[in-house]
A and B are shown apart, each in its own frame.
Chain A
Amino acid sequence: MIDRYVAIQTILGKVQDDDLVLSTTGMISREVFFSEDRAANFYMIGSMGLLSSFGLGLALQSPHKRVYVLEGDGSALMSLGTLPLIASERPTNLVHFILDNEAYESTGVQPSISSKVDLSEIGKSCGYAHVARVEDVEGLEGALQDNETTTGPHLIMVKVGIAPVKGIPRVSHAPTEIRDRFKSRVQSQGEGK
């Protein structure tokens, strides 16, 4: 088990300037924002379950950009049908993370069903080109390394613990500001962060 914030920091450590990072509603967006706020981050602060669909659309629209989707077990379960859709569309530039803490942490740590259902096995049966299930930092780093040598779409499920970051702020940017700076990064070629 690994703290989710550590997992997010480990993932962001691999992100290149041009990569697009999308994060789901609740604590995951807040932790990405707190860890490393960048214009190429899109914080989906509402619409639970929609992130993977948006990520699929971006990956198809921008095949030369790597698209990181960071969601939780709750949002993955809410839009489970998107997993086979992503697998069937096969965007090689999509890296889909499920940070699985087996709970709806943002609403008060109510249990989810992912303690009983292995979402990485679902990803495998859907046909993701590369699936990894990791439980520690070394495993996560290994999976991130494998991303470089395998073709996508990638699904990396990280088993994470419940370890709230004290005093973590909400995303402070206005929604249209998140949109505009992200849009400029989607359309940019090269330099900048």
Chain B
Amino acid sequence: MAMDPESFWAVLKARGLTFFAGVPDSTFGDGYNYMVNDPEIRYVPAVREDVALGIASAAYFSGRLGGVIMQNSGIGNIVNPLTSFNLMYKIPALIIVGWRGYGGPPNDAPEHWIMGVKTPEILSLLEVPYEIMETETLEADLDRLLGKIEQGSVPGALLVRSGMIG
């Protein structure tokens, strides 16, 4: 069962996550529009995923944790910022990733098939911790992820499949 956007963002806001940058994805359904219109969240509509990560990373320097919201097709765009910025300087961020092509073909559109399968592998290869969101256990999933982000001072990804938020 899908989680309503208000509840989803309430979980994030309760953990101090109120500064986001990103690129939209249909996976988030109404969850994206809810965030954009939430006066408690400062959102920067970045032009690309690497730009979003650069913006969100700034929050760390103010003693906060910034967030990125994006589609998994943009993971390629953040490989260089991850390897030569965030993972090198140890600058954490939460990256909420819409998981298109989950399960591979024939799910979703052909352009999502390969990344749909490779998404967890790429994150593992880069040693970026991730958790797969389940609506029933979002708070526990997120807290586990935030623990890894804080412990390693690195970015971590919350993978969100279609139908989780709506």
Residues of A within 8 A of B (CB): 44-54, 56-58, 60-62, 79, 81-82, 84-85, 89, 175-176, 178-179, 182-183, 186-187
Contact = CB atoms under 8 A, between A and B. Distances in A.
Interface of B: 19, 21, 42, 44-48, 50-64, 66, 80-81, 83-85, 88-91
A46 B84 contact: yes
B126 to A, nearest CB: 14
B58 A61 contact: yes
A50 to B, nearest CB: 5
Contact of A57 (B48, B59, B63): B59
Interface centre among A51, A58, A61, A89 (most CB of B within 10 A): A61
9 contacts: A46-B84, A47-B81, A50-B51, A54-B54, A54-B55, A54-B58, A62-B62, A175-B88, A182-B61
A60 B46 CA distance: 13
Given A61-B62, A81-B47, A53 B55 contact: yes
A47 B80 contact: yes
Nearest to A81: B47
A176 B90 CA distance: 7
Contacts of B90: 175-176, 179
Given A57-B66, A186-B62, 12 more contacts: A44-B85, A46-B84, A47-B80, A47-B81, A48-B80, A50-B53, A57-B21, A57-B54, A61-B58, A81-B48, A183-B61, A187-B62
